[in-house]
Amino acid sequence: MSATAPAPRAVARVRLVLVSHSASVAEGVCELAAQMAPGVRLVPAGGTEDGGIGTGYERVEDALRAALDDADATAVVLTDLGSAVMTVEAVLEAEPELAERSRLVSAPFLEGAVAAAVTAHGGGDLDVVARSAEHAGTMFGAAGDGDTAPVPETAVGSGRDAGAGTGAVRTVVVPNPTGLHARPAAVLARMVAGLGVAVTIDGVNGASVLEIMKLGAGQGSTVEVRASGTGAAEAVDAVVGAIEGGLGDL
């Protein structure tokens, strides 16, 4: 898969450019993230122009132009190692028309790509998608630390009003044979991101695929769905119904 290869029309306005020293790594992360967020344009920029290990100015520029092929499109750029950052910065400095529609973020390459893709699929704008990728870096600390990240304001729909209306809460049993693993977690996070209401699943941000996966909720687990703000009851009912229905995984 090359940076300039034809791609299906994306439904999300925010695209992702993944810059790696290895073409295989960039393409593999794109493939994985696409499984979680099929409506997002993901463009790999891996390796050098001659097919070697490293990063290349032209490959990064081509990838950015491919991602920004629509007038209203924007792009979040993730990199794997420090020298890749330097290559991206050189392109953005030399190409201001690309720089004004792009955001280079500091985030873990794989986790950041997955989190950003799911948030973009849910309709997040450039700022929201960028912060979602950056937030992924805080998700997996030392094992057993017991910390749970708070619900970030940027990860829920822009139409929410957390202080309005009343809260709602219900519990639901996870029916999926393998629990809330990557794919159903992504479906759930995309759904929550589009609700415009602050929703938590067992206390974590319901719009974050990584936080949902970190719960480790297996088949038969009971999880609590809680929402606040206008439309909270309807949002909780919708999320509970989706979980009971298996999130496309039954």
Would you name the residues annotated as active-site residues?
Answer: 21
> Comparing C-alpha atoms, which of 241, 202, 243 is closest to residue 224?
202
3-class DSSP assignment, residue 174 = coil
- C-alpha 56/C-alpha 201 separation (Å) is 42
First-to-last alpha carbon distance for the chain, in angstroms, is: 31
- C-alpha 37/C-alpha 122 separation (Å) is 9
> Comparing C-alpha atoms, which of 94, 96, 56, 100 is closest to residue 75?
100
DSSP state of 47: B
- C-alpha 94/C-alpha 202 separation (Å) is 46
Looking at the DSSP bridge assignments, the partners of residue 15 are: 75
- C-alpha 29/C-alpha 7 separation (Å) is 16
What angle do the packed helices 57-67 and 82-94 form, to 10 degrees?
A: 70
Q: How far is CA 153 from the centre of its chain?
A: 15
